[in-house]
Amino acid sequence: MEIVILGSSRQIGELAADAIEQLIRRKPDAVLGLATGSSPLPLYDELAARHERGLDFSRASAFALDEYVGLPAGHPESYREVIRREFTNRVNIAPENVHGPDGTAPDIPAACEAYEQAIADAGGIDLQLLGVGTDGHIAFNEPGSSLASRTRIKSLVEQTRRDNARFFKRLAEVPHHVITQGLGTIMAARHVVLLAKGAQKAQAVRDFVEGPVAAICPASVLQFHPHATVLVDEAAASAL
Ligand code: GLP
């Protein structure tokens, strides 16, 4: 794991954008893995600015990490909408090449299997962006998730629902269930880039970087990844 400690979330965004720009220039039809949450927002701003200056995403495709179950299509907090609003609508990725798990599917296990198949059909993910939850979750793989898991339905722990309630009018609106890529799915990406900022992430960063690899801290599985880059600010790195 390569750990890079930076001075600001803007710098984190710039360095992550460099990695994506290099990938897209080398491989114009790259497959990007996209994350939601606040951590990637400066990166998405930076990529939108680079697109204005000519960075071309027309042959790229993208897969979201996860999705709430049961939010109606078009709900502003469904991750499909968040990804569109924050990133893909601001660059020239073809809308039909932007994929996310279907949280409204009548048959959720079949939708999960179809999502794994779609990633495989696209040739796998070249660069997977990640944030980390305060409890060490990545995507929505909460503590206790199997380190080999694939895309499936999961329940959110109360801490994550509370953390994410800021995006909803009230806590009761935060769904209890989600579809998430599994830890095994994430580990299959060729490069993973995790972004974390702020003191509230310091313990999680310490646990997954320096602690044992264990399901209790899902992000710790990245210690086994052959090409994992962790970009953190000084506050998030303060317990290392
Ligand atoms: C949610 C998402 C994760 C994200 C996490 C942290 O739980 N499912 O993918 O990493 O939030 O979000 P933030 O970056 O806002 O701290």
Q: How far is the CA of 108 from the centre of ligand 1 (A)?
A: 22
Tokens found for residue 105 = 């599917």
Assigned domain for 31 exists = yes
Quick one: which of 138, 128, 160 has its CA closest to 220? 138
Assigned domain for 86 exists = yes
pLDDT at 73: 84
Tally of structural domains, the chain:
1
pLDDT at 8: 95
Q: In this structure, what DSSP letter does residue 178 have?
A: E
Assigned domain for 200 exists = yes
Query: Stretch 119-145: mean pLDDT, rounded?
Result: 96
Among the residue ranges 64-68, 164-168, 207-211, 225-229, the one predicted with the least confidence is 164-168
ipTM score: 0.94
Q: Give catalytic residue positions.
A: 66, 135, 137, 142
The tens digit of pLDDT for each residue in 39-65 reads 999 999 999 999 999 999 999 999 999
Assigned domain for 240 exists = no
Strand order in the sheet with 177-180: 66-68, 177-180, 152-155
Assigned domain for 134 exists = yes
The tens digit of pLDDT for each residue in 61-94 reads 999 999 999 999 889 999 999 999 999 999 999 9
Quick one: which of 123, 150, 134, 136 has its CA closest to 66? 150
End-to-end CA distance of the chain: 14
Paired with 32 in beta bridges are: 62, 127
State the residue for tokens 């994992």: 228
% of the chain exceeding 70 in pLDDT? 100
Assigned domain for 238 exists = no
pLDDT at 112: 98
Tokens found for residue 30 = 């790259």
Stated as kind and residue range, the H or E segment containing 212 is none
Residue 145 belongs to domain with CATH number: 3.40.50.1360
| Residue whose CB lies within 8 A of the most ligand 1 atoms, among 12, 34, 39, for a mutation test | 39
pTM of the predicted protein model: 0.96
| Residue located nearest, by CA, to atom 1 of ligand 1 | 37
Segments forming the whole domain that contains residue 59: 2-233
Nearest-atom index, ligand 1, CA of 201:
16
Query: Stretch 190-209: mean pLDDT, rounded?
Result: 98
Assigned domain for 239 exists = no
Tokens found for residue 27 = 């491989």
Residue 79 to residues 18, 123, 124, 126, Cα–Cα distance (Å)? 24, 23, 20, 20
pLDDT at 201: 98
* DSSP structure string for 139-154: TTB-TT--TT--SEEE
Q: Assess contact for 157 and 143: CB atoms under 8 A.
A: yes
Among the residue ranges 43-47, 71-75, 96-100, 146-150, the one predicted with the least confidence is 71-75
Quick one: which of 86, 79, 41 has its CA closest to 63? 79
pLDDT at 90: 98
Q: Average per-residue pLDDT in the chain?
A: 97
The tens digit of pLDDT for each residue in 166-183 reads 999 999 999 999 999 999
